[in-house]
Every structure is written in C-alpha cells, then in structure tokens.
Structure 1
Amino acid sequence: MRPDLYQRLQSTSARLALAVSMAFLLAFLLLGGGIYSAVLSSLDRDTRDFVRTDIDQLLNLRQRTDFGALLDEVRARAADPDDADLLYAVLDSSGTLLAGDNVGGTFTRRAGWAEFRDPFDPDHPRVLAKVAPLGDGQWLVAGMRLRAEDGFLAIMQRSVLYALVIAVMLGLLVGWLTSQWVGKRLRQLDDTARRIAGGELGLRVPADGSGDPFDRVGARLNAMLDRIDTLMDGVRDATDHIAHDLHTPLTRLRQRLEALQVANGDSAAPALIEAAIHETDALLQTFAALLRLSRIEGQGPAAGRVVDLAAIASDAVELYAPGAAALGMEVEIEAEPAALQADPDQLFQLVVNLLDNAMKYAVDGASIRVRTCTTAEGVMLEIADRGPGIPVGQRDQVFDRFHRLELHRGTPGNGLGLSLVRAIATRHGGRLELHDNQPGLRVVVVLPGLNDQGAAS
C-alpha cells in the first residue's frame, strides 16, 4: 500500500466515513435479516397449518369409512393436477406404496413432521410432510412440495444481495458526505484560528445558529477570543496608565537626585534624600501591588479553608480604628457570623483595601460603616462611607488598573486598590457592586457561602 494512501485511510475523515458506512451496513443487515427470518417463519407456519389440516381430514375420513375409501381419496388427491405441489401417500409396514405419490425411502417411518427432497420430481423440491400411523403398520403421509416457497425465498435472497450492494454504496456515499461536512466545519475553525494567529485578532468563528457541537465550539472559541481581547485591552490601558502615572514621580525623583548632586553637603541634602526615598518607596509599593494583582489573577479558583468573614472584618477594623480616630472618623461594625471557604490572607487584603479607600476619601469627622451578614446568595460584606462617591458612569472604570478619577488624582495611592479587590472577589467566585450611599459610596461584596453540608455553595 502506498504511504500516501495509508495516511489517507488513517485520517479522521476516512475513519468517520468508514464508521458511518459500517453503521449503515450493520443497520441494513439487521433489518434485512429480521425481515427474512420473519417471512421464513411465516411461510413455514402457514405450510404446517395447511398440511396439519389436510392430514386431519384424511384421518377423519378413515374413521368414518373403510380403508378402501381412504386409498381412493389419496389416489384422487395425488392425481389432481390443480394441487400438483401437494403430496399424499399410504404405505404398508414394509414401505411399499399402497396409494398416492411415490416417496421411496426418503423419510423414517415414525409419527410426526418430516422434511426431505422429492426424489421423483425433476426439480427435487423440498417437501414438508406429516406422517401418521393408520394401524397394522400402515402409514399415512400428507405434505407439500415447497417449490413456491423456495422460489420466493430465492427471489428474496437475490433481492437482499442486490440491496446489500446498494446499501454498501449508499453507506459509503453517506459516510463520504458526512466526512466532507465535518471536514468543512473543521476547516472553517482551522482557517479562522490560522488567520487569528496571523494577526487578525478581531476575527471570529462564523456561527450558523444551529446549536450543534461545532456551533457551540465556535461560540466557546469566540468567547475565549473576546476574553483575550479584553485582557489585551487591559494590558494596553495598564501600560498607558503606568506611563502616565509613573512619569511624574520618576521625573521628581530624578530632579531631586540632580539637586542632591548639586547640593553636595548643603543642609538641604537630607531633605532631598528623604524625599527621594519617599518617591522610591511609592514606586516600589506600586510595583509590589502590580505583582500581587498579577499573581492573584493567574491563580485558579480559591480553595482555602472555612473562615468567618465577620472575624476577618473585625480584625481589619481593629487595625484601622486608631488611624481613623486620629482623623476624627469613627469606624462602626455590625458583624454577623458569615462562614465561607476562602483564602483568609486574601480576604483580609480585600477588607483592608476597601477600608483604606473609605478612609482616604471620607469627609473628616464622618463615620464609616462595616457590615457582614449571610444572605440567600451567600455571605455579604458592606462598607459605606460619606465621601464624594463615584459617578454612575465611571463605576465600571474604577476597577481598571491605575484608573483614578480626576478629582482624586492629587491624593496618595496608585489606582490598584479596587483592581486588587475585584481580582480577589472573582477568584473566590464572588462579585463586587458599587452603590450610592447618599452621600458617599457603598461597596457590597457577595461571596459564595457554605451549604448545610459545610461545602461551598
């Protein structure tokens, strides 16, 4: 076999075509075999019923009349040209024919059914006969030559053979058409993937709306591409924000270092060094936050252990209470037990970031309210402040890396706090919502709780 032909036979399309053809052929064989068996059984049953009725009539005649009348009836029936396929015979104990058709020694002389071939007919057809004893060693034979049945079965066998050839051809055709259809759909996917890999990132797999597996795979690929496109946009936006937000501190750091170089022992040198260190620390914090955010986004779903969100929120409030008091603020907490399966360190980071934001933008002297509880959707954390809030049209944008409202660009921070909070909530299968606190901002985090068996719901 040529190598190229062997490779074609080993291909998925060839195997699919062969599988469809074999399934088509097997179904035909089962159907044809079932029909043939049913017809054969029906013909055999009808023949036996007819022969049984025939011999019963002769036996009844024997009981009503003498033996001579039975012999006359058998001779008359055997000589009737209209019933040429019927066979009748009366034999004595030695097998000698007394009346009817000569059957020779083609069957054993015992009561019951017998099947043999007629040796005195030129075509030697099969004979299905019933043998009954008459007494004194004599036997009555009544049967039917199965010439018509055999002819019909022969026609059926030839028809089945022709139909089998047609079925094989149709099966191969159907298999080939199926493989071509499957191959066409796969080529569409392959062509789209090739073009996307070549740089056409906006291209998507065409959908025909049939909802078949190929359509669903195409929808999955399109969703994946949309997600990749979103991530790429995020990377581009993050790059723009990094270039914009880090340009100013880096410029200031360079200017102070130049001033320090010029000062050379001047009394202003320590202040310049301290300012440069402060700028460097801010840059390091920004890159540390970026690294932490990237690690969280790159991790799979959180497994963790069972923790109480109320206890974690209480620890965070206890940590921030002194700082809030120094600013004239009060942090109020309403902590209802709220158990969930989570990474406690990341959950603590989530609460701390939200508290830090609330304290940063709240009005001096205002209170910050923290609440935990269990709802039908899971466990909930709510942190509300009395600051300026976030306009409705910009609430989705504040989760982007480095995004800061123009009003807040002069305040300390790097614009990564809410991005980190959303990444932690997403990793734990939760969601983050921003609402108006009238005035201020109310942040709601909903996370999956525990069901009655203690597993994540």
Structure 2
Amino acid sequence: MFRSTSLRLAAVYTLMFSIAVVVLGALTLFTTRQALSADVDARIRAESAALVQEFRTEGLPGVLGAVRERDRTPGALNYGLEGPGTRAMAGRLAGAKAPLGWSVLRIAQPGGELEPIRVYTSRLPGDLRLVVGDDLDRIETLDGAVIRGFGWAFVGVVLLGVGGGYAFSRDIHRRLAAISATAEAIIDGDLGSRVPLRGSDDDLDRLAATFNRMLDRIAALMETLKQVSNDIAHDMRTPLTRLRQKLETGLAQPGERGQALESALTDLDAILETFAALLRIAQIQSGARRAAFRPTDLSAVAQTVVEAFSPSAEDARQTLTLEATGPVLIEGDPELLTQMLVNLVENALRHAGAGSRIRVRASSNGSGAQLTVIDNGPGVPAAERERLFDRFYRLERSRSTPGSGLGLALVSAVAELHGAEVKLAGANPGLEACVTFARPPPRATDSRR
C-alpha cells in the first residue's frame, strides 16, 4: 500500500496544502502588520498635529499642560517635549534624542525589558521638539497570534493529510485488491467470480460494474463456444458418417461409384456451408463489421429481397408481398441486413407450406424502426420459439427439410450487432418474426450526405 499511487497523490496534495497554509499565513501576517502599522502612524500623526495646533494657539504653557495631562492618562500615547539641546521638559519620551521624522525607539521598562515604540518627532518654534509615539506591543502580540494560529493550522493540515491519505489509500487498496483477486480467480479458471460492489455508485463502483459486465459477456461467450463445440460434434457426426458410408459403398460397388461420389460431394458441400455459416456468425459476433455501418434504408433492403424471392414463391404457389410506405433509415451494414432478411424470408418460404402468404413489412416510428416477416403457415409452439435462435436447433417436423439450423442464429447475431431485438410471435395462424431497431433512425439529410 505504501507504494500505491493513491498514497503518493495524498502526499502530494498534503504538501501542496501545507505550502498553501504557509503562503496564506505569510500574506495574512504581512497584510495585518501593514494595516496596524498604518493605523498607528495615522494616530501618531493626528495627535502630533493636534499638539502643534495647541502650541500655536496656547503657546508653550498650553503644550506643556497638554503633554503632562496626556502622559498621565492610561492607554494614551507616549509624549515628550524637549527644549534646546534636547533638554527634557515634559513627557515620558523627553530626552530620548529621537531624530526628526519617523523612527523606532526602545524604552527601558521597570522590569528591565526594552519596549519598542514608534515615534514621530516634529520641530516647534523656539528650537523646541515635540515627540509623539505609540508602543508596538499589540502589533507584535497580533503577529505572534497569527503565527501561532497558522502554525497549528499547518500541523493540522499535515496530520489530516497523513491520516486521510493513509485511510484513503487503504480504502483504494482494498477495492483494487478485490478487482485484482477477481482477475486472479478468473485466470485460475473460476469464471463465475465477480467483483463485489458497494452500491456507492462512485468511480470504482462503476469500474467494478463495467468489469463484471465484461466478465458476464466473456462467460456467455465461453458458454456459447462450449455449446457450439458440442453442437458441432453432435450435428456433424451424422453427415460425416453418411459421407463415409457413401464413399465405402462407392469403393465396394464400382458400378455405383459415380453416383456415390456425386452424393458425397453434395453432402460435403452442405458440411462446408455449415462451417461457413458458423464462421460468418463468429465474425458478426466479434463486432468486426461495425466499420461498414452507414445510413441504410430498410424499405430498399426489403424490396430487394422480395423481388429476388418472388419467382421462387410463385413456383411454390406462395404469395410474397412487400408492405412499406416510405424510407425507413437506420445506421447499419446493408449486406448483413440483407442476409438477415434473406434468412427470415427463406425460413418462411420453406416452412409455411404451399399456398401460404408471406408478408415483408418495413416500418418506423418516433423511437426506432422495425423489419417484420409474417406468414400464415403452421407456426411454431410458444415453448420452442426462443430455442430456434440456438445453433443447430431444428423442430422435429423440419428435420426432413434442407438446412443446418443456423439461419435464425445468424439473424440473432446480425440483430445483436445492430443493437436490435428479434422476437418470434404467433400470427394466428402462422409466425411473425419482428426485428426492432431501438436506435433512432438518422435524418434523411444524413443519408444524402
């Protein structure tokens, strides 16, 4: 913990605040001393001017009386009246031989201590000198109080900085240690380990929540990978075994070798298509295709798909129609969106049956856009609708039809890449597959640009 960044930051902030206290104390001391000194000087100058005026009006006797009276008044200033040759005439400061103007004298006290006094000496007619002064004890007393106050403040800042920094670093260390321990547990194979949250919603709590969501995503991907591996091992066993049997038949019966090889190639193509679909789903789920996002019109995508599959629908005595009233713009990958809709339409055409009607609808509202494929075929039981998005999952009645069970898994992957939600619902009769894009569609000006 003593090597932690948080403790070093706390030490730096403590040092900065300590320096700030010292600078503030020095400024306060200087400002206060200047203000008090200016007040003392103003008081001395005013008193000296008053006594000079007294001399002009009352003469020497008036000044002598005034000085003697003021000198006996408690709390008054200090005075001195000197004759020619700095002869003491009256007042405590008489005979101090202060120079003309401003100066500081040190007068001995009864206890032997020297008291600093700020004095102003002015010349009077008749070679007389008037000295008026004020002691500086209260300025020095205030200086001492300011220094002591800021000294205690400095000590308090240092103590609070050290104590608070230690407590802060200890708390940060504990929480980072919890994150580190969780990472170590995951490295050791415990994918269910998560960082504990305090519920304070501070930076570290939000970091821990993000970390946990990342771990949930990793765990889900690992589980998906495990499930895919199991599904591949299970679903590929049958076509590979059939392929081997056909090749063995061709080797055992030379007359049927060509037919066996042709059938084996057909099975091999189906297996390769399955692996290609798995790789495509993995590529989509990795998010690598987001770079191809651009403003895309779902109505145009739907029209392209409907026009491409209309001849196949007519051959199967099915009706394929488009329902779109205008542009439906979203940010997406046109190629992936087209592939997603192709899979939905192929799924409907394959399982709805002859004479069925399939509708493709592109619509939008204030909050997003929808792409829907509706058929009036036999539909899917509610309990099995969500499982149709699992890789290789097929209904029992659909196992006799061509397909690998990856079409709707690819639809789910494309929808997730686009931040959309895909749901299957009953159409009474039939099935409705709806992809809802929650993001607001871009403006038409963005599409043109």
- TM-score grouping bracket, smaller chain normalisation: 0.7 to 0.9
* Structure 2 residue corresponding to 1:283, chosen from 258, 266, 271: 271
Q: Determine helix, strand or coil for the equivalent of 1:65.
A: helix
Task: State the one-letter code of the partner of 1:87.
Answer: N
How has the CA–CA distance of structure 1 residues 250 and 159 changed in structure 2, closer, same or farther, with 3 Å as cutoff?
Answer: same
Separation in 2, partners of 1:151, 1:230: 74
Contact 2:98 2:121 in 1 (8 A): no
1:376 and 2:366 aligned: yes
**Larger CA deviation: 359-368 vs 302-311:** 302-311
User: Deviation per CA, 1:372-425, whole angstroms, max 9, x where unpaired?
Assistant: 233212332221111233333433332222222334333221121122122222
Task: State the one-letter code of the partner of 2:430.
Answer: G
Unpaired stretches in structure 1, ≥5 consecutive residues: 1-7
Task: State the one-letter code of the partner of 1:282.
Answer: A
Q: CA deviation at 1:135?
A: 6.6
Q: Determine helix, strand or coil for the equivalent of 1:259.
A: helix
Contact 2:98 2:105 in 1 (8 A): yes
- 2:305 paired residue number: 316
* Structure 1 residue corresponding to 2:80, chosen from 72, 89, 92: 89
1:349 and 2:339 aligned: yes
Task: State the one-letter code of the partner of 1:425.
Answer: A
Separation in 2, partners of 1:223, 1:172: 36
Q: CA deviation at 1:356?
A: 0.8
Task: State the one-letter code of the partner of 1:360.
Answer: R
- 2:293 paired residue number: 304
User: Deviation per CA, 1:237-291, whole angstroms, max 9, x where unpaired?
Assistant: 2122222222211121111111111111x2x333322221221111011001111
Contact 2:301 2:334 in 1 (8 A): yes
1:16 and 2:9 aligned: yes
Q: CA deviation at 1:339?
A: 2.7
Contact 2:82 2:94 in 1 (8 A): no
Separation in 1, partners of 2:271, 2:103: 104
Q: Determine helix, strand or coil for the equivalent of 1:89.
A: strand
Contact 2:21 2:150 in 1 (8 A): no
Separation in 2, partners of 1:87, 1:155: 25
How has the CA–CA distance of structure 1 residues 348 and 159 changed in structure 2, closer, same or farther, with 3 Å as cutoff?
Answer: closer
Q: Determine helix, strand or coil for the equivalent of 1:279.
A: helix
* Structure 2 residue corresponding to 1:274, chosen from 253, 257, 262: 262
How has the CA–CA distance of structure 1 residues 214 and 304 changed in structure 2, closer, same or farther, with 3 Å as cutoff?
Answer: closer
* Structure 2 residue corresponding to 1:451, chosen from 438, 443, 448: 443
Q: CA deviation at 1:228?
A: 1.0
Contact 2:86 2:95 in 1 (8 A): no
- 1:5 paired residue number: none
How has the CA–CA distance of structure 1 residues 180 and 10 changed in structure 2, closer, same or farther, with 3 Å as cutoff?
Answer: closer
- 1:199 paired residue number: 189
1:65 and 2:58 aligned: yes
Q: CA deviation at 1:436?
A: 2.3
Separation in 1, partners of 2:420, 2:306: 22
Contact 1:302 1:427 in 2 (8 A): no
1:43-192 matched pairs, under 5 angstroms:
43-44=36-37, 47=40, 51=44, 54-55=47-48, 58=51, 61-62=54-55, 65-78=58-71, 80=72, 82-83=74-75, 86-90=77-81, 99-100=90-91, 101-102=93-94, 104=96, 106=98, 108-109=100-101, 114=102, 116-118=104-106, 123-129=113-119, 140-158=130-148, 160-161=150-151, 163-192=153-182
* Structure 1 residue corresponding to 2:382, chosen from 369, 374, 392: 392
Unpaired stretches in structure 2, ≥5 consecutive residues: none
Q: Determine helix, strand or coil for the equivalent of 1:373.
A: strand
Q: Determine helix, strand or coil for the equivalent of 1:186.
A: helix
1:411 and 2:404 aligned: no
How has the CA–CA distance of structure 1 residues 406 and 26 changed in structure 2, closer, same or farther, with 3 Å as cutoff?
Answer: farther
Under a length normalisation based on structure 1, what TM-score does the superposition of the two structures give? Answer: 0.84
**Larger CA deviation: 291-300 vs 34-43:** 34-43
User: Deviation per CA, 1:162-208, whole angstroms, max 9, x where unpaired?
Assistant: 55345434422322222222212211211121112111111111112
Separation in 2, partners of 1:13, 1:387: 65
Aligned length: 441
**Larger CA deviation: 384-393 vs 40-49:** 40-49
- 2:425 paired residue number: 435
Task: State the one-letter code of the partner of 2:268.
Answer: T
Task: State the one-letter code of the partner of 1:65.
Answer: E
**Larger CA deviation: 362-371 vs 28-37:** 28-37
Q: Determine helix, strand or coil for the equivalent of 2:314.
A: helix
Task: State the one-letter code of the partner of 2:382.
Answer: V
Separation in 2, partners of 1:172, 1:418: 61
- 1:225 paired residue number: 215
Task: State the one-letter code of the partner of 1:280.
Answer: L
Contact 2:25 2:147 in 1 (8 A): no
Cα root mean square deviation, aligned: 3.2
**Larger CA deviation: 151-160 vs 231-240:** 151-160
Q: Determine helix, strand or coil for the equivalent of 2:199.
A: coil
